Amino acid sequence: MRAKFVSSIQEISAEHWNALWPSNYPFTLHGFLKALEESASVCGSAGWQPRHLLIFDDSDTEPQLLAAMPLYEKNNSTGEYVFDWAWADAYCRHGLEYYPKLLCAIPFTPATGPRVGFSSSALEADKVECLLVIMKALRERLKTSQGSGFHCLFPNAEQRLLFNDRRFDEFDFVERLGCQFHWFNQSFNSFDDFLQSFSSRKRKNVKRERRKVNEQGVIHQFRPAADISAQEWQEFYQLYRRTYAIHSGHVGYLNTKFFMLAAQNLPYNMLLATAHLRDTNSPMLAAALFFRDQNTLYGRYWGTRMDYDGLHFETCYYQGIDYAIEHGLNRFDPGAQGEHKIQRGFTPVLTSSFHFLQHPDFHQAIHHFAEQERGHVLAYAQDCRTSLPFREQWVSCSSDTLLNNTRMFR
């Protein structure tokens, strides 16, 4: 097997790259990563220099692509959603350089999913062998680039088990836990059917929120990117930019070109929920961007022209739940953070990331930190469960979801 680093996703064909990711998970699709790079949303000056890692089998006359990892050389920690600023600060205080570091992640996207793509013919043993070759290549790269370490953010359950395989003990990965809030479809037939799982008081609260939006004359439409015009993407970008500036002080990580290119490349994996006053032909009052695969809806960005009571919850959450139920999706991942999601039927779930630092003392320090943090995260997730709005029999269903999720991380 041979490892090769490439500085652009375009150095590998879309056909060969996408063949490694059969789940149709939108954020590892060639078209998504290409839109990030072509728009310069991801580049060296933005702190995300592509260093995608490819594994080839050279035993045949023509090299076969066996595996790949979306990889970036980072000179900052922005847009990652697993915060290591304190680690970088500790390095600085000891006269050491934390950057560059190598990061396996999807830029600006805290959505759990596959982080290594494998050939469809790969057996479990083949996957482990590929990952061993990947880890050796990463270590060599860290030496030549004088990088501080390697990090993998939000791998799915299957690949989490791979990273925890005993055959990788020499890397001594530190696993760090996080908590998000996801909605799960219990074979609901409609939004009203979903609300029947709520206690009476909590059900009334949600109905009141939706009614307020309706009484203000706000209507919504939910469309795939293929049905959104260039002018509408411009409108959405201005809303996104305005809202980012208000809440974070900067205008966002993405630009108009990214949204245009992503819409072209993922016409049916990318969707937009738009809010209008009384007429869907009127200018956008607010909008929320979503992505999807065959099982899951992913909420990403939102923006609004002005604040309306309940508009954020309706556009970003309730419209997404409506869509997921209508299209038979199993899960709705609305993004990171947000305890306000609990009262609206989103269940706490645990997320994972893996870390390896070259400096042995610092690596041991983050081991200790992650162990302490793990207990707090597990307790926090369990505590959040007590605030779920469901009736008793539905709380038990939610408990099973959390329990199964939690068992994996103990």
Average pLDDT over residues 34-44: 97
The total of other beta-carbon atoms located within 10 Å of residue 208's CB is 10
Average pLDDT over residues 160-168: 83
The pLDDT tens digits of the residues spanning 187-225 come to 999 999 999 999 999 999 999 999 999 999 999 999 999
Domain boundaries, the chain: 2-171, 186-329
- The per-residue b/e assignment along 76-115, b for 16 or more CB within 10 angstroms, e otherwise, is ebebbbbebeebbeebeeeeeebbbbbbbbbbbbbbbbbb
pLDDT of residue 406: 52
pLDDT of residue 121: 83
- At 399, the pLDDT band (50, 70, 90 cuts) reads very low
What percentage of the chain has pLDDT greater than the value 70?
A: 96
Residue 400 has pLDDT above 50, yes or no: no
Among 158, 154, 56, which residue's Cα sits nearest to residue 108?
Answer: 154
Of the listed ranges 26-35, 72-81, 265-274, 335-344, the one predicted with least confidence:
335-344
β-partners of residue 57 are 64
As to burial, measured by CB atoms within 10 angstroms (0-12 exposed, 13-18 middle, 19+ buried), residue 146 is exposed
H runs (alpha helix) in 216-255: 230-248
Contact 258, 36 (CB under 8 A): yes
- At 235, the pLDDT band (50, 70, 90 cuts) reads very high
Residue 166 has pLDDT above 60, yes or no: yes
pLDDT of residue 408: 54
The total of other beta-carbon atoms located within 10 Å of residue 182's CB is 19
Average pLDDT over residues 95-109: 97
Domain 2-171 has CATH 1.20.1070: no
Q: What is the mean pLDDT of the chain?
A: 92
Residue 288 has pLDDT above 70, yes or no: yes
Of the listed ranges 205-209, 248-252, 289-293, 339-343, the one predicted with least confidence:
248-252
What percentage of the chain has pLDDT greater than the value 90?
A: 83
pLDDT of residue 153: 98
Query: 362 to each of 365, 370, 378, how far by Cα in Å?
Result: 5, 12, 24
Among 141, 78, 135, 145, which residue's Cα sits nearest to residue 105?
Answer: 78
What DSSP character marks residue 60? S
Average pLDDT over residues 238-264: 92
CATH code: domain 186-329 is: 3.40.630.30
Among 176, 200, 198, 196, which residue's Cα sits nearest to residue 188?
Answer: 196
Residue 44 has pLDDT above 90, yes or no: yes
One-letter amino acid identity for 70?
P
pLDDT of residue 187: 95
> Both tokens of residue 151?
């990090």
Say how far apart CA 173 and CA 299 lie, in whole Å: 30
pLDDT of residue 163: 86
Residue 116 has pLDDT above 50, yes or no: yes
CA-only gyration radius of the chain, Å: 22
Average pLDDT over residues 297-321: 95
Average pLDDT over residues 64-77: 96
pLDDT of residue 169: 77
The total of other beta-carbon atoms located within 10 Å of residue 231's CB is 8
Residue 351 has pLDDT above 80, yes or no: yes
Intrachain domains 2-171 and 186-329 with the same fold: yes
- Report which of residues 248 and 385 the model is more confident about: 385
Residue 227 has pLDDT above 70, yes or no: yes
Average pLDDT over residues 8-34: 96
Among 310, 330, 313, 79, which residue's Cα sits nearest to residue 302?
Answer: 313
